[in-house]
Structure 1
Amino acid sequence: MGLAALAACAAPLPARPVRQHPSAAPAAPAAPTATASAEGTPAPGSTSTLPLTSPTPGGAPAASGRRRSTAPFSLLGAVWDDARSPLNAVLRVRTRDRAKRIWTPWQTLRPEDHGKSGPGTGKKQVRGYTSPLWVGPSDGVQVSVGEPPGGGTLPSGLHLALIDPGNPAQQPAIAGGPPSWLLLLPTAAASPSGRPYTVPRPEIVTRAGWKADESLRRKAPIYAPSVKMVFVHHTDNPNGYDCSQVPEMIRAMYQYHVTELAWDDIGYNFLVDRCGTIYEGRAGGVDRPVVGGHTMGFNIGSMGIAAIGDFRAGHKVPKAMTDSIARLAAWKLSLVGVSPTGKAAMVSQDSATRYPRGTRVVLNAVSGHRDAVQTECPGDALYAALPGIRAAAARLIRAGAHPH
């Protein structure tokens, strides 16, 4: 179902480079005269920014209230200079549909908790940010910035990042991969070296399949000795997206993570959409223990799977999604003999997590993001589904180890 929906992205395109964000500092918004390329025509991704605080002392709201025309964008998020500074305000946005020319209802941008650095870690301070919000092709925005309570101030550098994922050229096929336009890694019963898998590798859309611009990546992949456990996340996007939009959504998330948050690559190792399609996330090889950027303090030795959507209480988690998460977890954990219903011993690398740096922590082999970090992720609904995902993954491993 999900793979069929991706047929909209099938046409090969001539090469054209993707424009990178010129600066991490807030800048004037792109000229509203900018227009999107015709459908099917190659176009670079881009980022424009809208300052949300005035340059005067005190951090007063600067862009709250009026509707603004903007350069084309499909995803937005708020970013500020120092993650240790609280947002201190409720940010609400509404956007103008580029095709229908109508304004959406108001939506709230929710700050993330896992970017904060602990005291005395000695590392470079990271930026504060909200979860990126996918709004679809848009060319206008209106922002409501609530007054900070108790006379507080807004964080310095607070700005709205407007991300256009563009329509980049099809990337070259990965060596050894299929020649199809989708660049899908098909279900496989054995590794490239011929070693049989206990659990077949599920179908995975590669980075080339979702047209990742590899020039955006800041560093080469880093590898852990092995993957001992899985952290499950949600992306906190609205759930009504069409699965044919997912490659664009992932490109926009990738751009947000790298150009706005200054991460090395997209944070997640894998992403799964509501149709059950699995996507390769961070570069480095789907069968290798790539260190991601998804669970602060616990990235080494873990794998991050992001469920694309909002799975707080009251939101239904699609069965196709949980089935695919179980298949992916079963395959990956079976490579190192870890039971999905077992435990994993991890060591916290950051005191801004639930555990001081250096603490040995025993976690479920398939855990939620909130088990390690002070966050609501992956939402109450998806968190409640984790026992079923663990059990399903364990059944797949047992079936592979003892085929009838």
Structure 2
Amino acid sequence: MIGVAVAVATASGSALALPLPLSASAVAAPAAGDAPDPGSTRSLPLVPLPDGERSAAPGTPAAQGLPRRDVEPFSLVGVVWEEPDTELHGTVQVRTRSTATGAWSAWQDLETHQGDHAADPGTAEARSGAVRGGTAPLWVGDSDGVEVRVRPEAPDERGAAAPALPRGLRVELVHPGGGPADGARPPQDLRDAPHDDAPHDDAPQADPDPDADEPADEDTGTTDPGGEEDGTADPADEETGADEDTGEGTGTTDPVDEGPANPTNAGQGAVLLSPEESAASAVNADLVALGAVEIPELSKTETEEDLPNTTAAKPYIGPRPRIVTRKGWGADEKLREANFLYSKSVQAAFVHHSATGNNYTCAQAPSVLRGIYRYHVQSMGWRDLGYNFAVDKCGTIYEGRAGGVAKPVQGAHTLGFNNNTTGIAVLGSFSSATPPAKAVTAVSKLTAWKLGLYGKNPLGKSTLTSGGGNLYKKGTKVQLNTISGHRDGYSTACPGAKLYGKLGTIRSTAAGYQGRP
């Protein structure tokens, strides 16, 4: 074994600014045929659309888009632009062609406000020169055709000119690649690799509506201190341990060991881990073996017995739920920045929806997550996946941003409140669709365990210090529910009205899992 110290550091913009090779694989497999497909991203510039695509309102800036065209296979799509602080005032719509049926979808809307999920203002991750503005990505399934239109807002009633569209608009077509359960595929030109998620019988019905052109393209390849009502102490520290003005991490070091040949779980067969995979797995070594694809669930008694004697969590901690690791959902560890970023504690949990749509099967959820991860890192320019955890429609919980599921990993999920919090995204869009009961239950279980590790009451409140946003100025101390929705910390529609309406149930159920009276 080669001892490697994994430094806990802030983001390095230069790492993200460099293009990554398309053929890079996260698994150092013993034979070429065992290497999974790590995926690819194709980035295409948008162009002015013909007059017929403009709004009829005079004074409206020209629309931009991409005429209907054939493209290499992809499954997730988003639109990005140059300045991360610039908002897109208008609508972004796409339609795509299914590789299975050859039919074109109806126009689908992309959520234009994704910047409210970003790193806190002034932090190293936010200052990175690689960071861009962008929409939320949309999962469209296996597709080989795309059409895009971006329409600016019309002038207001007083005739004031509509804001121009952001500069450098591009559509990002993400092929998420294969994962551990998808079957091995030899390395090849990833742009030509077929997507291998098979449809399931429980697949939700896609919007069936076809309709019945092309500019040159290019392939980028990569393109607080907590006020706690119940009086329990924070096992990590009573202070935030981070610069409240900047939201930067603590800068402590987490040493791990990694080796060139570390087998995965028993029964899975020996798989060689890259140094990046070893590091991402080793931070969970106190919970599961190196290279494990999941962290098994424990009963409440087993969870309590597994805790250090000094923890403040006993007896109020929920049973540890089953969590699929980054290895389990197939994260390409070479995409993210090498080091891990921590807060000092976890004082609250913010619940999100991914706004990627609901047309995915449970078997496809790892692919959806791999697509979001690639979009966050390579298209948006973040250091890693923004969310700390993800939950799919069947209630499966996934490890998000690397650093350890039990640790206070600092994410990029709630702009202004990433310090000393954890972000949980339910995969889907829940503005009008009701979140599945299994997903709601999973969020309750996850928050009961994760918040319980830090002595937090799901029914209580926590005092957080704003890192800056559109609801609270930087430095403002804000008392929020320990389980809050994204919109509680930032003016946004996230996590969708229907999921936000379930937060009361999530709080009370989580408290029940913790065994609180």
TM > 0.5 between the two? yes
Contact 2:78 2:136 (C-alpha < 8 Å) held by counterparts: yes
Aligned-residue offset at 1:385: 0.5
Choose from 159, 162, 167 the match for 1:156.
167
SS of the residue corresponding to residue 216 of structure 1 reads coil
Query: What are the Cα deviations for residues 174-202 of structure 1, in whole angstroms up to 9, with x where unaligned?
Result: 45576799711101323796538632210
Identify the residue that residue 394 of structure 2 maps to in structure 1: 275
Distance, in Å, in 2 between the alignment partners of 1:216 and 1:119 is: 23
Partner SS state of residue 200, structure 1: coil
2:501 partner SS? helix
Q: Which has the higher contact order (CA 8 A, sep 6+)?
A: 2
Q: Does 1:340 align with 2:468?
A: no
Query: Which residue is equivalent to 1:387?
Result: 504
Q: How many residues align?
A: 361
Structure 2: which amino acid aligns with 1:334? G
Query: Who is 2:38 aligned against?
Result: 44
> What letter corresponds to residue 406 of structure 2 in structure 1?
D
1:195-245 per-residue CA deviation (whole Å, 9 max, x = no partner) reads 386322100000000010111112411111110100000011222310000
Q: In 2, distance between residues paired with 1:327 and 1:381?
A: 19
Aligned equivalents of 2:425, 2:418: Cα separation in 1: 14
Matches of 2:505 and 2:443, distance apart in 1: 11
Q: Give the distance between the partners of 1:144 and 1:353, measured in 2 at CA.
A: 28
CA displacement at 1:117 relative to structure 2? 9.3
2:91–2:112: 8 Å Cα contact kept in structure 1?
no
Q: TM-score, normalised by structure 1?
A: 0.81
CA RMSD in angstroms, aligned pairs only: 3.1
Output the CA distance in 2 between the equivalents of 1:192 and 1:282: 27
Residue identity matched to 1:49: S
**Change in CA separation of 1:276 and 1:224 when aligned onto 2, cut-off 3 Å:** same
CA 52–347 in structure 1, closer or farther in 2 if over 3 Å, else same: same
What does residue 265 of structure 1 align with? 384
Residues 1-400 of structure 1 aligned to structure 2 (within 5 Å): 23=19, 42-53=36-47, 60-64=62-66, 66-112=67-113, 113-114=115-116, 124=127, 126-150=131-155, 152-167=163-178, 172=273, 174=281, 176=285, 183-188=293-298, 189-190=302-303, 195=308, 198-312=317-431, 314-350=432-468, 352-398=469-515
TM-superposed deviation, 1:154: 1.6
- What secondary structure is seen at the aligned counterpart in 1 of 2:146? strand
Unaligned runs of 5+ in 2: 1-15, 21-33, 49-59, 156-160, 182-270
Larger Rg: 2
Distance in 2, matches of 1:120 and 1:43, equals 36
In 1, the alpha carbon distance for the partners of 2:290 and 2:98 equals 33
> 2: CA distance between counterparts of 1:121 and 1:304?
18
Shift of 1:248: 0.5
Work out the CA distance in 2 between the residues paired with 1:361 and 1:326.
Answer: 23
SS of the residue 1:146 aligns to: strand
Q: Aligned partners of 1:385 and 1:51: how far apart in 2?
A: 40
| Pairwise CA distance, 1:89 | 2.8
1:346-390 Cα shifts (integer Å, max 9, x gaps): 00112x331000000000000000001111000111111101100
Distance in 1 separating the partners of 2:107 and 2:91: 12
Cα 1:248/1:190, change in 2 over 3 Å? same
User: Partner amino acid for 1:360?
Assistant: K
Closer, same or farther: CA 341–48 of 1 in aligned 2, 3 Å: same
Q: CA deviation at 1:41?
A: 8.2
Shift of 1:62: 4.9
**CA distance in 1 between partners of 2:428 and 2:331 (Å):** 20
Q: Which stretch of the first structure deviates more once superposed, 120-129 or 132-141?
A: 120-129
1:21 CA drift (Å) = 9.7
Displacement of 1:319 in angstroms is: 0.9
- Aligned mates of 2:179, 2:321 — CA distance in 1: 26
In 1, Cα distance between the equivalents of 2:456 and 2:333? 32
